[in-house]
Structure 1
Amino acid sequence: MKKVFAYADAHKQSNYAEALQSFGMEPVFSADLKAARGCHGLLLCGGGDIEPYRYGQENKGSKNFDPERDEAEFHLVKQFMDAGLPILGICRGLQVLNTVLGGSLVQHLPTARAHAWEEETGDKRHLVQALPGSFLLKLYGERFPVNSAHHQGADKIPPALSLAAQAEDGVPEALQCPEKGIYAVQWHPERMMLSRRRADAVDGTLVFRFFAGLL
């Protein structure tokens, strides 16, 4: 069974665990980076904002920092890239990849109300446009609906990554580097599958099936 590492508390990641296990992957959730040894892929889960100094900015709307997690995930991305092992980024994970590889973030989107989770409504929903050459075209077609729970987004995209999809307001919704097995989505496919399947969005299982095929 292929092992996938994520810097996370196993007790808080049941959605991700079920998503990985549904395609025969073994999740390894730990804050001990030594546990990543021998794993076949890296999952970067959703979470709080990255400290802005990491992409050369002062704080202009970022929140919910976890400096230890930033440091750990930045290290893990480089470790798995150097080893030639695939990486899947989800929500914050997309932003981590964009930052590690030299990009920057919009700290608070002008259209955040259309993207951000709210207590009254939960995840938002909006359409996504897959670009030519995107891994998502084969999975979902050119235009499709997804859930949404973020107030930040990728700004400058580094040369190592390419834009794979965007929202109707232009916010980047997926990035990729097929040569290095790096793929990321800004939405939460683990909340769009199995018992959490939504009638108003596409099936998130396709993203995890795609990732499983890379291992």
Structure 2
Amino acid sequence: MRPIIGITSYVLPASWGVWTDLPTALVPHDYTEAVRLAGGRAVVLPPDDLDADVLDRIDGLLLAGGADLHPSLYGQEPGPYTVAQPDRDAGELTLLRGALDRDLPILGVCRGMQLLTVVAGGTLHQHLPDTLGHEKHRPGPGVYGSQQVLLDPESRIAALMGDDLTINCFHHQGVADPGSLTVTGRATDGLPEVVEDPERRFVLGVQWHPEVSRDRRLFGALVAAASKELTQACADR
């Protein structure tokens, strides 16, 4: 029985067949396929802030990448380059807080890492070129930046990554203050690339996009943690 991994999604205009610019709940297939290849069953979760009851029916939560978080969530006004989706923020905050209450396994990717940070009381840089003086984290439209990540050798992420430390990133915002989370990986320019909560069973955020390469190290770890959740849930029934 495969563990069920809920993947957050967003609503954007999409076109297919005879349909044009139809509001659509979607997520890149890379996420669902990465979960499948890691041994999980992917379920797409549209934005919904009414409750987090769906968490009682899944075994792990994957916070997907996407638009910027609204800066009001960390006490700032929007800058000129910030593009937010408040409806998605509200739905994902509901899910994330509910998942933390349940100690559900959580993997945050890019925006997902930033959401973990904000819920932990941290803050973000709204536009990295203004902070770092370069655009290596988002070289151009649809172009991933390739970098080496420096990891804390005692961390969970170091144990998962092994010797291959090349990452592919696409983001113009980043973590300024991790709040109560622990930064366990950084880019060579010092920007946090990984956050963890060592007090919880599995809470991991990465600023890069492991779904693009279907990275079984990270998705496999999420599925493994979710499998333990599923086994415990079955034992409790």
TM-score of the alignment, normalized to the shorter chain, above 0.5? yes
- Residue equivalent to 1:106: 125
- Residue equivalent to 1:14: 29
Matches within 5 A, 1:1-215: 1-8=2-9, 11-31=26-46, 32=48, 34-109=53-128, 110-111=131-132, 112-119=134-141, 122-141=143-162, 144-159=165-180, 161-180=181-200, 181-193=202-214, 204-215=215-226
Q: Give the Å deviation of 1:143.
A: 7.2
Give the secondary-structure state (helix, strand or coil) at the position aligned to 1:75: helix
Aligned in 2, Cα 1:154/1:11: closer, same or farther, shift over 3 Å?
closer
Q: Give the Å deviation of 1:71.
A: 0.7
Give the Cα–Cα distance (whole angstroms) in 2 for the partners of residues 3 and 185 of structure 1: 21
Q: Which runs of 5+ in 1 are unaligned?
A: 194-203
Give the secondary-structure state (helix, strand or coil) at the position aligned to 1:175: strand
Give the Cα–Cα distance (whole angstroms) in 1 for the partners of residues 9 and 195 of structure 2: 22
- Residue equivalent to 1:197: none
Amino acid at match of 2:160: L
Give the Cα–Cα distance (whole angstroms) in 1 for the partners of residues 28 and 102 of structure 2: 25
User: Is the 1:28–1:35 contact (alpha carbons within 8 Å) kept by the matching residues of 2?
Assistant: no
Q: Which runs of 5+ in 2 are unaligned?
A: 11-24, 227-237
**CA-to-aligned-CA distance 1:100-148 (integer Å, 9 cap, x gap):** 11000001113351101513x7111011100132212112247721101
In our comparison, the structure showing a higher alpha carbon Rg is 2
Q: TM (normalized to structure 2)?
A: 0.80
Q: Give the Å deviation of 1:73.
A: 0.8
Larger RCO, structure (CA 8 Å, separation 6 or more) = 2
Q: How many pairs align?
A: 203
Give the Cα–Cα distance (whole angstroms) in 1 for the partners of residues 106 and 221 of structure 2: 12
User: Is the 2:155–2:184 contact (alpha carbons within 8 Å) kept by the matching residues of 1?
Assistant: yes
Over the residues paired in the alignment, what is the CA RMSD in angstroms? 1.8
- Of 23-32 and 87-96, deviating more is 23-32
